[in-house]
Amino acid sequence: MDYQLDLNWPEFIEKYWQKRPVLLKRGFTHFIDPLSPDELAGLAMENEVDSRLVSHDSGNWQVRHGPFTDYDHLGDHNWSLLVQAVNHWHAPSAALMQPFRGLPDWRTDDLMVSFSVPGGGVGPHLDQYDVFIIQGAGRRRWRVGDKVPMQQHCPHPDLLQVAPFDAIIDEETEAGDILYIPPGFPHEGFSLESSLNYSVGFRAPSGRELLSSFADYVLANELGGQRYSDPQVATRRDPSQILPAELDGIRQMMLDLVNQPAHFGPWFGEFISQSRHELDIAPPEPPYQPDEVYDLLSQGEPLRRLGGLRVVTLGDAVYVNGESFTSAHPQALHALANKLTLRGEDFAGALDDPSFLAQLAALINSGYWYLDDEA
Ligand code: SIN
Ligand code: CO
């Protein structure tokens, strides 16, 4: 299904993005759910899929983690099943992320899908990331409060909530409505009837993550071997002192390490092209020979990107799941980064070059892209 979102992105960014929440009433017209509650329940039975059941009873909250073996114990009210990264496991659901490519790919994360029975929800809480919550089947009451400093507490060790808040948005959502919530705005959704919600989540690395990943890169690439030196070391009355100029020298050493364009870009490309959730990688068996890839693409077979695979472009390089690629055919390489489904003509003649074809066959044989004839 091709989901069309009629949204003026520059206007949306100017007014709302990272600034204030908004309900985009009927953001999707004639919305059709990409999956059923039963399919979602089935996904939450898989080992690789990250899922949880959140329920409450007289103010007592329970969280159980998947994989689940059955759902027999659940009543008709007050529970919600939440499944992370559904775009990795269910191609029709992945299509729901496409309309949000008005924002850069590197900022997006995953599609979380929830199914809630009446009264179901995860309670009032904050998220650290921007999210677009799409209402599918059913109706839900969504409340969003203003961003003010708020104490968080845990009614269950695996559940972080905030105290009740005054709403600046309080609406019943119905199929196709999209609620945008920037980080830090408290919100809660209570289902009025059995309902499906799709959360397109964004990703914003913290300084801690960046530093830790950069340190890993430094170690893996054996950078930063140079040592502190002080041929003019200053003598001091109190030898216990570290002088301000010495601290500046240490800081400069660290900044110099970060300030290497030949490494900073490649590190970030590798870092940000890695998914935070497991991918459904299934390399084709037997692997494709390059000439088979050529034939299939020439016959008009579509080549599709694995759901959740992160592909970003930085300068001439394209980063795929933490690996960098360059090519004598930058246009073809960039088509791989830009388009989620490709046809032979998208490669602009590059398929005639055996080295590009071999590179493409290797990507397909890694399970990162697939040809429909595998299905
Ligand atoms: C949901 O319950 O579907 C979304 C949870 C959230 O507010 O993040
Ligand atoms: Co939330």
Residue 125 DSSP label: B
As beta bridge partners, residue 113 has 83, 198
106 with 59, same domain: the answer is: yes
**Nearest Cα residue to 144 out of 23, 42, 17, 37:** 23
Mutate to test the pocket of ligand 1, among 128, 133, 158 (most ligand atoms within 8 A of CB): 133
pLDDT at residue 11, as a whole number: 98
User: Which ligand has an atom closest to residue 200 CA?
Assistant: 1
- Percent of the chain at pLDDT exceeding 70: 99
| Residue to mutate (ligand 1; options 53, 56, 80; most atoms within 8 A of CB) | 80
pLDDT of residue 1: 80
Does a structural domain hold residue 4?
no
Instruction: Record the tokens describing residue 177, joined without a space.
Output: 């409505």
Nearest to 2 by CA among 95, 109, 125: 95
For ligand 1, atom 1: residue with the closest CA = 114
In testing the pocket of ligand 1, which one of 52, 54, 197 has its CB within 8 Å of the most ligand atoms? 197
Residues with CB under 6 A from ligand 1: 80, 114, 121-122, 127, 133, 187, 189, 197, 199
Span 25-76, pLDDT tens digits: 999 999 999 999 999 999 999 999 999 999 999 999 999 999 999 999 999 9
Residue whose tokens read 């959730």: 277
The overall average pLDDT reported for the chain is: 96
Answer yes or no: do 149 and 29 share one domain.
yes
Domain-located, residue 19: yes
Ligand 2 center from residue 187 Cα (angstroms): 6
Band (82; pLDDT cuts 50, 70, 90): very high
Residue 375 has pLDDT above 70, yes or no: no
Query: What is the band of 373 on the pLDDT scale with cuts at 50, 70, 90?
Result: low
Residue 186: pLDDT band by 50, 70, 90 thresholds? very high
The residue assigned the tokens 């092209």 is 273
Range of the domain at 144: 9-202
In a domain, 1, yes or no: no
Residue 323: predicted pLDDT? 97
Give phi and psi for 252, each to the nearest 5: -60, -40
* CATH code, 340: 3.40.366.30
Residue 6 confidence class, pLDDT cut points 50, 70, 90: confident
Give residue 174's pLDDT.
96
Q: Distance, CA 132 to ligand 1 centroid (Å)?
A: 10
Q: Encoding tokens for residue 366?
A: 């890694």
Residue 32: which CATH number? Answer: 2.60.120.650
State the distance from the centre of ligand 2 to the C-alpha of 220, rounded, in angstroms: 36
Model confidence at 372, pLDDT cuts 50, 70, 90, reads: confident
The number of distinct structural domains making up the chain is 3
CA atoms within 13 A on the CB side of 28: 29
Give the Å distance between the CA of 125 and the centre of ligand 2.
6
Query: Residue 4: pLDDT above 50?
Result: yes
Q: Is the C-alpha dihedral spanning 285, 290, 296, 300 positive or negative?
A: positive
pLDDT digits (tens, 9 = 90+) for 282-294: 999 999 999 999 9
Is residue 278 domain-resident? no
Ligand 1 atom nearest residue 197's Cα: 3
Calculate the CA dihedral of residues 345, 347, 351, 352 and round it to 10 degrees. Answer: 80
To which residue do tokens 């759902």 refer? 71
Give the nearest ligand 1 atom to 113 CA.
Answer: 3
Q: Report how far residue 326's alpha carbon sits from residue 266's, in angstroms, rounded to the nearest whole number.
A: 12
